Structure 1
Amino acid sequence: MSDEEQPENENGHGPRQHKPVVVVVEPETPGNVGTIARAMKNFGLYDLKLVDPPEFDPDGEAYGFAGHAREDVLPNAETVTFDEVVENYHTVGFTGITNESSYSHDRFPFKTPVELKEDLKRVDTQTALVFGREGKGLNNDELRRLDEVASIPADGRYPILNLGQAATVTLYELRDLTVEETQLPDVEHARAPEQDIERFYDFFEQFLENSHFPEHQRDRTRLMMRRLVGRAHPTDREINTLLGLFRRANEQLEERGELLDELDREDRWNH
């Protein structure tokens, strides 16, 4: 059943217009993919996307573990690239290993699934829940490209959950957003299209270059901005205002640079 076919209750509440999609990056064990497909159907989700998946034998573990999800979720799973996920969705990556310092933004700040649910209640956007490999999970380079990070609270002596378990726990906690019987508060606003948000990041990157921001600080600054915008869920109007602001700033900085070149004057900020 597609998002558009999902009914709402008489009060206009019910599942979000855009239900989350579930993405699994380079799964190794077909049984885990089947478990995830089953959990998705349990909690009202049907859109499964796989990055570099193994082949699934119709008589193998994936279909065996999928239960009734073998009829729809699993056979309709779409193979995608990591780039496609980042470009088209508000992304939430899941990790069992977190940082506890604001100086390391690869895995900090992070949300629990319950906190993520409360956040997504307030905004309707195309969200991808991104899970990593069984052995290594998502690496730091991948996490840097995602908008938010989430982690399931567990015993600190052994915080790493099995891939299928992690997805099941997460989808259970998000069930208020995905099952038809749950009454939900009205959506406060719709998040701006991801393509426009990515354009903002491009403008911000150009701004860092035009303003001669110290190169050794740029990676951390880019990541901090992505995390900030990821939590803020900007609206169309907000992101368009930011695009206009940074477009104007970049044009002025470029014109300033051209004038300094014409006057053969040194730019005192370019150190």
Structure 2
Amino acid sequence: MISVAVVDAETPGNVGTIARSMKNFGLSELLLVDPPELDPDGEAYGFAGQARDDILPNARTVTFDDIVENYHTVACTATTNEDPANHVRYPATTPADLADSLQDVEGDICVVFGRERVGLSNDELARLDVICSIPASASYPVLNLGQAATIVLYELRELTVDETQHPEQLHTLAETPAVEGLHEEFDRFLGAIGHPEEKQHKARRLFRRVLGRAQPTGRETKTLRGLFRQARQRIERAEDD
């Protein structure tokens, strides 16, 4: 199980934003160290989206010691100067590599985010197991707390999101009969608009190439076929009037 901890957050809205990102990417346990007041009518719940119904109300207030003692911890920090003389833990992993690095961890994991302005202190970083830093421009590497959490949790989605629960997100190609039906409707459309007969073969070949590269889904194919059919029928009705 992967939990998320927010240490000494100053802004309730950031806690709500993090809760929303947790909901987006399949996490449910939110731990708060020295949190601000989270008023059900305030910005934390306002920013939380559907996470206001379960993640925020069930958030647990804990101590930093609780996190260190009970979880394999990942410290998220904006520190980007990978200098072994200055960095508390060198080198830091990136969010893109984080999921792979946690695959074989036994026990519960906690991803820890620090304060809005100063992040986690060096003493806190030294007590956590892994350092994760988001690569950003050296001229302005500091991210908003909610943004940083969203990036990290997104990169953990292969460990937290069951993709089989979202089949509508998969790109399922249209079946061959449906595609051929679209080509037939396109042929009729060419005739309806009076496209020169000697050029129709070239137009059909071009359309087939474009459709082949597009690899449309069944729904896309059905929609295009319907559009060509409606256009053809309007043209034919206009000619009959």
Q: Provide TM-score, normalisation by structure 1.
A: 0.59
Structure with bigger helix share is 2
2:51 corresponds to which residue?
A: 69
1:91 corresponds to which residue?
A: 73
TM-fit CA distance, 1:105: 4.7
Alpha carbons of 1:105 and 1:125: their partners in 2 closer, same or farther (altered >3 Å)? farther
TM-fit CA distance, 1:148: 1.0
Q: The residue matched to 2:4 in structure 1 has which SS? A: strand
Larger Rg: 2
TM-fit CA distance, 1:124: 4.0
Task: Choose the corresponding residue for 2:97, options 96, 104, 115.
Answer: 115
Moved more, 57-66 or 106-115: 106-115
1:157 corresponds to which residue?
A: 139
User: How far does the alpha carbon of each residue in 1:38-60 deviate from its partner, in whole angstroms, 9 at most, with x for none?
Assistant: 00000000000000001111111
Deviation above 4 Å: which 4+ runs of structure 1?
none
Q: The residue matched to 1:123 in structure 2 has which SS? A: coil
Using the alignment, how far apart are the partners of 2:87 and 2:107 within structure 1? 23
Could you tell me whether the CA contact under 8 Å between 2:88 and 2:126 is conserved in 1?
Answer: yes
Alpha carbons of 1:181 and 1:124: their partners in 2 closer, same or farther (altered >3 Å)? farther
Q: The residue matched to 2:163 in structure 1 has which SS? A: coil
1:191 corresponds to which residue?
A: none
Count of aligned positions: 165
User: How far does the alpha carbon of each residue in 1:61-89 deviate from its partner, in whole angstroms, 9 at most, with x for none?
Assistant: 00000000000000000000000100111
Could you tell me whether the CA contact under 8 Å between 1:38 and 1:67 is conserved in 2?
Answer: yes
Could you tell me whether the CA contact under 8 Å between 1:48 and 1:77 is conserved in 2?
Answer: yes
Confirm whether residue 140 of structure 1 aligns to residue 122 of structure 2.
yes
Matched to 1:28, the amino acid is E
Could you tell me whether the CA contact under 8 Å between 1:26 and 1:50 is conserved in 2?
Answer: yes
- Listed as ranges, the gaps of 5+ residues in structure 2 are 166-241
Matched to 2:10, the amino acid is E
1:56 corresponds to which residue?
A: 38
Identity of aligned residues (%): 65
Task: Choose the corresponding residue for 1:127, options 103, 106, 109.
Answer: 109
Using the alignment, how far apart are the partners of 1:163 and 1:182 within structure 2? 30
Could you tell me whether the CA contact under 8 Å between 2:14 and 2:145 is conserved in 1?
Answer: yes
